[in-house]
Each structure stands twice: as structure tokens, then as C-alpha cells.
Copies of this chain bind each other. A is one copy, B any other.
């Protein structure tokens, strides 16, 4: 299904109205069913729905590896992804936790709170990156975000090493874009550990914890973090780079991983 839709609109200034063609992003409603249990409905872009479903389940701690997946069925016309897991009976009978409703695309079924970092291991990776590599990766990342350029309404996320973008996904939701990246990692056996995540969106606590769950040592955003995003990055040993614009960036936490000169 196409990510965008063409429309006739009126463009207006104070003197004139003129009819023109415009492009808007598509919004799709996807219900995720785990072991015959309706878990949640995500509003998303209608692409890579199996990545989104698997990444969402993994972010929620309901799925850890590809081996656990017995079956994935995407019914695009109905807006449904069914996931069956091995030994999934117990999961289906557990009650749903209270929803956590995020700030800007926020979502999740678990409580991320003041004590959330106690259940996340501190990241000790010795991975480093140079400022030059950050600028080069972000430039390539922006180049790939074509839908964003067309409509102004889409987020992107990527898994990278210091040289290349390995996995790239887009969605109208910044959480979904990241979940798609991690879902693709699971389904295509790409280990995310010790890699770098780039996101177009704001780094809130939820985004930080999504990344911490996958042992990512370096998180790069084109946008600003929140205070909790910074605090969690600090506590969990994640290098948090924000506001990358042109040849400038801000280092919010664990700046020791960023070198001015080329490394290696």
C-alpha cells in the first residue's frame, strides 16, 4: 500500500486561491493480535507491517527472538497482523496492563517510571564514533527520508554502524519507525547490539528505553531530548547526541564516545 496519497487542495494567500495537487501521508489502523488475543491498535504508515508488529511485541517485552515466532499473518485489507508464538497459551491468558500513553507518539503497555532503569542493564560498550562520522551518517539518513521531504509528516529511524546505515524505516509515528527497525532486525537476523540508532524524532524516556532494551550504546537524534531522556541516557551509559543540524550537534550524555578526529 502506498505511503502517501495525492489530493486536490486549495493553496491560499491573502489575494488568491488556486487549486493544486498536494501529497499527504497515509494513516493506517493496524490491530496486533498475539495468540488470538487483541493486544493493541497502532495508527501507523501502511508499510512493513510485520516489522512493526514484531518490533512492537519485542519493545513490550512480549517477544525476544525469532525462534519464539510460530506464525505471522498480515491481513492488510482488514488492518490486522496475527502473531502466534510457541507456547503462547499463557501469554494470551494474562490480563493487559494499564496503558501508558506517551507524549508525542508515546505508547506502550508497561510502566516506564522513576524506577524503570533498575530493570535495564547499564551499557558498557566501548564503541566510539567521530564527529565527522555522525555528520556523514545523519546526512545520508536525511537523504533517505524522502517521504518526509514530500509531505512534511513522517518520521524515520535507522540502525547503523559508524560507517553505514544497515536498516532504515519510516512511519508517521516516531515510535513505530524505531519498532520497525528492531522488528526487521529480529526477522532478518541482524543483531542490533552495539550498533547506533538514528531517529528523526524527539528523544523522550520511552524512546531511550526502547533503545536501551537492545543494548544500543549511541543514540542520535535530529531533534531535542526531554529531561528524562537525558537522565536515563546518563544513568544507562548511552551516548545521547541531539540537534544534529549541518555540522553542529549537542552531546547530552556520555560524550566520551564521540571523538573530534577520525578514529580507527
Interface digits, A15-55 against B, CB 8 Å rule (1 contact, 0 not)?
Answer: 11100001011110100000000111111110000000000
The reply to whether A25 and B226 contact each other, CB–CB distance below 8 Å, is yes
Q: Tell me the dominant secondary structure on chain A's binding face.
A: mixed
The reply to whether A172 and B104 contact each other, CB–CB distance below 8 Å, is yes
Other-chain contact of A113, B11, B29, B102, B206 (Cβ < 8 Å): B29
> How long is the Cα–Cα vector from A5 to B206 in the complex, in angstroms?
18
Interface digits, A213-250 against B, CB 8 Å rule (1 contact, 0 not)?
Answer: 00000000001111111100000000000010001111
Q: How many copies of this chain are found per oligomer?
A: 2
The reply to whether B105 and A24 contact each other, CB–CB distance below 8 Å, is no
Cβ of A174: which chain B residues have Cβ within 8 Å of it? 104
Would you call A122 an interface residue if the criterion is a C-beta within 8 Å of the partner chain's C-beta atoms?
no
Cβ of A104: which chain B residues have Cβ within 8 Å of it? 104-105, 155, 172-174
Would you call A176 an interface residue if the criterion is a C-beta within 8 Å of the partner chain's C-beta atoms?
yes
Would you call A89 an interface residue if the criterion is a C-beta within 8 Å of the partner chain's C-beta atoms?
no
The reply to whether A22 and B98 contact each other, CB–CB distance below 8 Å, is no
> How long is the Cα–Cα vector from A81 to B39 in the complex, in angstroms?
26
Cβ of A106: which chain B residues have Cβ within 8 Å of it? 43, 105, 107, 173
Cβ of A16: which chain B residues have Cβ within 8 Å of it? 260
Cβ of A105: which chain B residues have Cβ within 8 Å of it? 102-106
Q: Given that A102-B173, A104-B104 are contacting pairs, would A230 and B11 also be in contact in the complex, using a CB cutoff of 8 Å?
A: no
Cβ of A108: which chain B residues have Cβ within 8 Å of it? 101
Would you call A252 an interface residue if the criterion is a C-beta within 8 Å of the partner chain's C-beta atoms?
yes
The reply to whether A229 and B9 contact each other, CB–CB distance below 8 Å, is no
Q: Given that A98-B39, A104-B105 are contacting pairs, would A12 and B230 also be in contact in the complex, using a CB cutoff of 8 Å?
A: no
Would you call A152 an interface residue if the criterion is a C-beta within 8 Å of the partner chain's C-beta atoms?
yes
Q: Given that A107-B106, A227-B24 are contacting pairs, would A153 and B202 also be in contact in the complex, using a CB cutoff of 8 Å?
A: yes
The reply to whether A223 and B102 contact each other, CB–CB distance below 8 Å, is no
Number of interface residues of A (CB under 8 A): 76
> How long is the Cα–Cα vector from A40 to B5 in the complex, in angstroms?
34
Would you call A191 an interface residue if the criterion is a C-beta within 8 Å of the partner chain's C-beta atoms?
no
Residue of B nearest to A132 (CB): B14
Q: Given that A173-B106, A250-B9, A250-B11 are contacting pairs, would A43 and B100 also be in contact in the complex, using a CB cutoff of 8 Å?
A: yes
The reply to whether A101 and B15 contact each other, CB–CB distance below 8 Å, is no
> How long is the Cα–Cα vector from A96 to B109 in the complex, in angstroms?
13
* Residues of A that sit less than 8 Å from B by CB: 5, 7, 9-17, 22, 24-27, 29, 38-45, 96, 98-109, 111-114, 131-132, 135, 151-153, 155, 171-174, 176, 202, 204-206, 223-230, 243, 247-252, 255, 258, 260
